[in-house]
Structure 1
Amino acid sequence: MIVFLVDADNLSSPEWVNEALEILEASEGAIAVRRAYGSAENLKGLAETLRTWAIRPFVNLSLSKNTTDIALASDAMEFACQMPAPSMIVVGSGDADFVPLVVRLRERGIKVVCVSERSKMASEAVYAYDKVLFVGNQKAVSTDFTMDDAGTSVSGRTKEGDTTTTKTTPVKKEAAKKSPTKKTAEKKVDTKAPAATVDKTSVSAILAAVPNLKAGQWLHLSDAAKTLHDSKLLGKNASTTKLFNKHPDQFELTPKKQPNKVRYIKTTGKA
Structure 2
Amino acid sequence: MTAFFIDADNLCAPAWVEEAFRTLEQHEGSVSLRRAYGSADKLKGLGEVLRTRMIRPYMNLSLTKNTTDVALAVDVMELSYEPSHPSTIAIGSGDADFVPLVLRLRERGFRMVCLSDRGKMAPEAVNAYDQVFLVGQEADAVTEAPAAVQDAAPPAPRSPAAKKTPARKTTPRKAAAPKPAVQAALSRKAPAKKAAAKKVASTTAAKAADGRRARSASGAGEAVSVRNILDHAPALKAGQWQPLGDIVKLLHDAKLLGKNTASTKLFKKFPDQFELKPQTQPNAVRYLPEAR
Return the TM-score normalized by structure 2: 0.50
Q: Is the 8 A contact 1:117 1:136 kept in 2?
A: yes
Which residue matches 1:21? Answer: 21
Structure 1 Cα separation of the partners of residues 180 and 104 of structure 2: 23
Structure 2 Cα separation of the partners of residues 91 and 63 of structure 1: 23
Q: Secondary structure of the equivalent of 2:179?
A: coil
Within the alignment, does 1:117 sit opposite 2:125 as a pair?
A: no
Within the alignment, does 1:103 sit opposite 2:103 as a pair?
A: yes
Choose which of 158, 162, 175 in structure 1 pairs with 2:154.
162
Structure 2 Cα separation of the partners of residues 53 and 64 of structure 1: 31
Q: Is the 8 A contact 2:148 2:179 kept in 1?
A: no
Residue correspondence of structure 1 range 60-75 to structure 2 within 5 A? 60-75=60-75
Q: Is the 8 A contact 2:35 2:55 kept in 1?
A: yes
- Gap regions ≥5 residues in structure 1: 146-154, 172-271
Counterpart residue type for residue 14 of structure 2 = P
Counterpart residue type for residue 42 of structure 2 = N
Q: Secondary structure of the equivalent of 2:9?
A: coil
Cα distance, 1:156 vs structure 2: 6.2
Q: Secondary structure of the equivalent of 2:180?
A: coil
Equivalent pairs, count = 162
CA deviations over 1:113-167 (Å, ceiling 9, x no partner): 00101210111000000000100016999x999xxxxxxxxx46999x8349745
Which residue matches 1:30? Answer: 30
Counterpart residue type for residue 132 of structure 1 = V
Counterpart residue type for residue 26 of structure 2 = A
Change over 3 Å in CA distance of 1:100–1:89 after alignment to 2: same
Cα distance, 1:62 vs structure 2: 1.1
Counterpart residue type for residue 125 of structure 1 = A
Cα distance, 1:169 vs structure 2: 2.6
Q: Is the 8 A contact 2:127 2:180 kept in 1?
A: no
Higher RCO structure, 1 or 2 (CA under 8 Å, sep 6+): 2
Within the alignment, does 1:88 sit opposite 2:88 as a pair?
A: yes
Computing the radius of gyration from Cα coordinates, the structure with the larger value is 1
Counterpart residue type for residue 39 of structure 2 = S
CA deviations over 1:194-237 (Å, ceiling 9, x no partner): xxxxxxxxxxxxxxxxxxxxxxxxxxxxxxxxxxxxxxxxxxxx
Which residue matches 2:76? Answer: 76
Q: Secondary structure of the equivalent of 1:32?
A: strand
CA deviations over 1:92-123 (Å, ceiling 9, x no partner): 00000000000111111000100101210111
Q: Is the 8 A contact 1:90 1:112 kept in 2?
A: yes
Q: Secondary structure of the equivalent of 2:100?
A: helix
CA deviations over 1:8-33 (Å, ceiling 9, x no partner): 00000000110011111122111001
Q: RMSD of aligned C-alpha atoms?
A: 3.1
Structure 2 Cα separation of the partners of residues 54 and 24 of structure 1: 15
Change over 3 Å in CA distance of 1:111–1:64 after alignment to 2: same
Q: Is the 8 A contact 2:134 2:150 kept in 1?
A: no
CA deviations over 1:26-63 (Å, ceiling 9, x no partner): 22111001000000000010000000001110111111
Counterpart residue type for residue 51 of structure 1 = R
- Gap regions ≥5 residues in structure 2: 156-170, 182-292
| Percent of residue pairs bearing the same amino acid type | 56
Residue correspondence of structure 1 range 123-162 to structure 2 within 5 A? 123-137=123-137, 155=147, 162=154
